[in-house]
Chain A
Amino acid sequence: MTTKTIKVDYLARVEGEGALDLHIEGGQVTTANLRIFEPPRFYEAFLQGRSHGELPDIVARICGICPVAYQMSSVQAVENAFGVRVDGQLRALRRLLYCGEWIESHALHVVMLHAPDFLGYPDAIRMAEKHGDAVRKGLALKKAGNAILRLLGGREIHPVNVRPGGFYKVPSKAELAPLAEELKQARDLAEDLVHWVATFDFPDLERDYEFVAMRHPDEYPITEGRLVSNRNIDIDIAEYENEFEERHVAHSTALHSLLKRRGAYLVGPLARYALNYDRLPASMQSLAAEAGLGPVCNNPFRSIVVRALETAYACEEALRLIAAYEMPDAPCVPLEPREGEGFGCTEAPRGICWHRYEFEADGTIRTARIVPPTSQNQPSIEEDLAAVAAPIADAPDDVIRHLCEQAIRNYDPCISCSAHFLKLSVHRS
């Protein structure tokens, strides 16, 4: 038997640094390790001793692509600990801000990072030579999402306007109105995007995932809900640690999250969609059907279609929120710090982003624990890689390498969040 190594020094079009080791013995894939060696930044350590008021500004810096997710989970945890609920139009504005992040993040991944895989280009710039219209529409869509972030948050990356209890400043109805015009166009662009990506060729792969997502009585989940799975998990977010655990493995600076009893699970668009199809408006269910999606999608390569669909949903939801908006009397609900523990969980573009903090009586953070979506998906990514590589274990290295990279990009992995740099080496013996 021969031993062979395939190496990709830097997996491209993902946010972060990591590597992949595949071991193939006698035509069987024995191990598939996604190695993450993004340098650790120790957020949970330096948050100790900081003030609850600084939390949304600090945790935003975990990720430049999804800062709002971190801000929203953290303020929810503060409010939970201090016994305050943010409702009405302030809650609606938070959801609107979050829709902006879904749109910019999903449009970036679908058009700029993922679509080139299906059409055989190294990047969206080269793809634009033949598919200029699609790239320009994708950029316009991304811009519309960023317009929401800029108006409500002050800027696209690391918005400054989020605080525990609400916002520093809220817009008037008239200030919000111009966004609607841009979003109406964006909704049409997103529908075109769904139809476009649905025409791609998808490798055949059906996986039996345990999907984990939030679930809300009325809404497609973004800002709050219970945690549910397709294998009978239905818990309050405070019970997360009863069902899930993090393990520190040698090959990753991102902790691996696992179901204590069953191992790998999947968070993100496929999970949200499968568990909340009935919460989508009829217009989006029809759009899904036009794109060839049933109520559940188990093919990770088709996640690009679900992500495009969620982009269309976020545009539509943003329009609904803007139409119903009335300027609240105050930009923020007053908070009285108290000693205690608080939990926050929201649906980042890549899946649930779970936070727990303990606070001292003056609101100083005693301990922090943050579980980002990509660290939860790592074990699932590894299982996908084994499943993708197994039927083609005898194929040329280039074929395996390309499909494995694509399989990783199915997840829109945000390795900066979790820890960045993907190197692929295949060992055969």
Chain B
Amino acid sequence: MARRPKLAVWKFASCDGCQLSLLDCEDELLAVAGAVEIANFPEASSAVVEGPYDLSLVEGSITTPHDAQRIQAVRAQSKFLVTIGACATAGGIQALRNFADVKDFIAAVYASPQFIDTLATSTAISAHIPVDYELHGCPINKAQLVEVISAFLAGRKPAVAAHSVCIECKQRGNVCVMVQGTPCLGPVTHAGCGAICPAYRRGCYGCYGPMETPNMPALTREWCELGADGRDIQRVLRSFNAWAEPFRQESEAHDD
């Protein structure tokens, strides 16, 4: 039998939800564990097999000087590296510091700021190293994660759609919430979640980040017609993918 590819899972600043998605594959986990060697996955195992690794999954964003160095070492021992989730692909919600002075943030939370060693920004993994594939979402969709691993094993491109959440709404048979008067980020947001929010009768809040080439000004004009003001638009764009370029630029267009 051929050697099973070695899988590693790495964590940077994050909530652990994306790597938990792997453990949430209750029906597929033992099959995945049969197809790859889980060589380095500290959240799930105390056994560590040394690198290099065939496939690395990276969760989290870079927020400390130590992590900025650590990600270089991860890249050096990974043949194929996939970033998973909004923190790793866009900096996460902790990138809200990028719009402020991090010293004020530290002072708001910690009594002894001198103990805290942090960077002024939270940035995507791709800002630091070359990344082979990015899987979006806050959190990622576990079926897409299984697809990415399967595609890697088969040596093909993952079948992950790049269109907007709008298409998923049509596929799911959702009635458009926007035509009912609810502001929605679906038209500019990357597909992958399955259009959950509109199915629960609320507007999409963009947790899968911007789709490719979104028309941001057209959407925010529509929001204004539905009664949203600049602050509402800025708030919704500044969440889990705030530092993703199209969301960042459009949110800055609504500065007072």
Question: Which listed residue (A42, A61, A112, A113) contacts B240, Cβ 8 A?
Answer: A61
Indicate whether B235 reaches chain A with its CB closer than 8 angstroms: yes
Q: A54-B239, A146-B24, A157-B21 are in contact. Are A44 and B108 (CB under 8 A)?
A: yes
Indicate whether B138 reaches chain A with its CB closer than 8 angstroms: yes
Indicate whether A248 reaches chain B with its CB closer than 8 angstroms: yes
**Segment among B123-131, B157-165, B201-209 that sits at the interface with chain A:** B201-209
Q: A41-B94, A44-B109 are in contact. Are A416 and B16 (CB under 8 A)?
A: yes
Residues of B contacting A40 in the complex (Cβ-Cβ under 8 angstroms): 63, 106, 109-110, 116, 118
CB pair A255 B44 closer than 8 Å: no
Nearest Cβ in chain B — how far from A65, in angstroms? Answer: 6
- Inter-chain CA distance A14–B45, complex, in Å, is 9
Nearest Cβ in chain B — how far from A85, in angstroms? Answer: 23
- Inter-chain CA distance A152–B113, complex, in Å, is 40
- Inter-chain CA distance A389–B91, complex, in Å, is 40
Interface range for A: 35 or more
Question: Which listed residue (B106, B112, B239) contacts A42, Cβ 8 A?
Answer: B106
* Count of A-B contacts judged by CB separation below 8 Å: 190
- Inter-chain CA distance A113–B46, complex, in Å, is 10
Residues of B contacting A160 in the complex (Cβ-Cβ under 8 angstroms): 196-197, 200, 202, 205
Question: Which listed residue (B94, B105, B116, B205) contacts A253, Cβ 8 A?
Answer: B116
- Inter-chain CA distance A200–B57, complex, in Å, is 34
Residues of A contacting B110 in the complex (Cβ-Cβ under 8 angstroms): 40, 248, 255
Q: Which of B18-39 contact A (CB under 8 A)?
A: 18-21, 23-24, 26-27, 29-30, 33, 38
CB pair A154 B94 closer than 8 Å: no
Residues of A contacting B210 in the complex (Cβ-Cβ under 8 angstroms): none
Nearest Cβ in chain B — how far from A330, in angstroms? Answer: 12
CB pair B15 A142 closer than 8 Å: no
CB pair A169 B200 closer than 8 Å: yes
Residues of A contacting B8 in the complex (Cβ-Cβ under 8 angstroms): none
Question: Which listed residue (B41, B93, B201) contacts A46, Cβ 8 A?
Answer: B93
Indicate whether A166 reaches chain B with its CB closer than 8 angstroms: no
* Most chain B CB inside 10 Å of its own CB: which residue of A67, A156, A167, A255: A156
CB pair A250 B96 closer than 8 Å: no
* Most chain A CB inside 10 Å of its own CB: which residue of B29, B104, B142: B29
Indicate whether A57 reaches chain B with its CB closer than 8 angstroms: yes
Residues of B contacting A143 in the complex (Cβ-Cβ under 8 angstroms): 26-27
Question: Which listed residue (B11, B29, B202, B235) contacts A420, Cβ 8 A?
Answer: B11
CB pair B26 A146 closer than 8 Å: yes
Indicate whether A123 reaches chain B with its CB closer than 8 angstroms: yes
Chain B proximity mask over A35-46: 1 for CB below 8 Å, otherwise 0: 000111111111
CB pair B235 A63 closer than 8 Å: no
Indicate whether A212 reaches chain B with its CB closer than 8 angstroms: no
Indicate whether B67 reaches chain A with its CB closer than 8 angstroms: yes
CB pair A123 B46 closer than 8 Å: yes
Question: Which listed residue (A38, A116, A154) contacts B196, Cβ 8 A?
Answer: A154
- Inter-chain CA distance A26–B50, complex, in Å, is 36
CB pair A248 B112 closer than 8 Å: yes
- Inter-chain CA distance A135–B27, complex, in Å, is 12
Q: A50-B235, A54-B239, A139-B29 are in contact. Are A122 and B15 (CB under 8 A)?
A: no
- Inter-chain CA distance A160–B63, complex, in Å, is 27
Indicate whether B193 reaches chain A with its CB closer than 8 angstroms: yes
Nearest Cβ in chain B — how far from A263, in angstroms? Answer: 18
Indicate whether A79 reaches chain B with its CB closer than 8 angstroms: no
CB pair A63 B15 closer than 8 Å: yes
Residues of A contacting B233 in the complex (Cβ-Cβ under 8 angstroms): none
Nearest Cβ in chain B — how far from A375, in angstroms? Answer: 12
CB pair A124 B44 closer than 8 Å: yes
CB pair B27 A125 closer than 8 Å: no
Q: A64-B18, A125-B44, A250-B115 are in contact. Are A140 and B196 (CB under 8 A)?
A: no
CB pair A123 B139 closer than 8 Å: no
- Inter-chain CA distance A10–B29, complex, in Å, is 23
Indicate whether B43 reaches chain A with its CB closer than 8 angstroms: yes
Residues of A contacting B97 in the complex (Cβ-Cβ under 8 angstroms): 42, 45-46
Nearest Cβ in chain B — how far from A64, in angstroms? Answer: 2
Nearest residue in A to B17 (C-beta to C-beta)?
A: A64
Q: Which of A109-152 contact B (CB under 8 A)?
A: 112-113, 116, 122-126, 128, 135-136, 139-140, 142-143, 146
Nearest Cβ in chain B — how far from A373, in angstroms? Answer: 15
Interface residues of A (CB under 8 A from B): 10-17, 38-46, 48, 50-51, 54, 57-58, 61-65, 67, 104, 108, 112-113, 116, 122-126, 128, 135-136, 139-140, 142-143, 146, 154-158, 160-161, 163, 167-169, 247-250, 253, 255, 331, 405, 414, 416, 420
Q: List 13 additional contacts besides A39-B67, A45-B100, A104-B24; criterion CB under 8 Å.
A: A12-B48, A42-B106, A45-B105, A46-B96, A54-B239, A64-B17, A112-B23, A122-B45, A125-B33, A156-B24, A157-B17, A160-B196, A248-B110
Interface residues of B (CB under 8 A from A): 11-21, 23-24, 26-27, 29-30, 33, 38, 41-48, 63-64, 67, 92-94, 96-97, 100, 102, 104-106, 108-112, 115-116, 118, 122, 138-139, 142, 193, 196-197, 199-202, 205, 207, 235, 239-240
Write 5 A-B pairs (CB below 8 A) sorted by A numbering: A39-B63, A42-B106, A67-B17, A112-B23, A157-B17
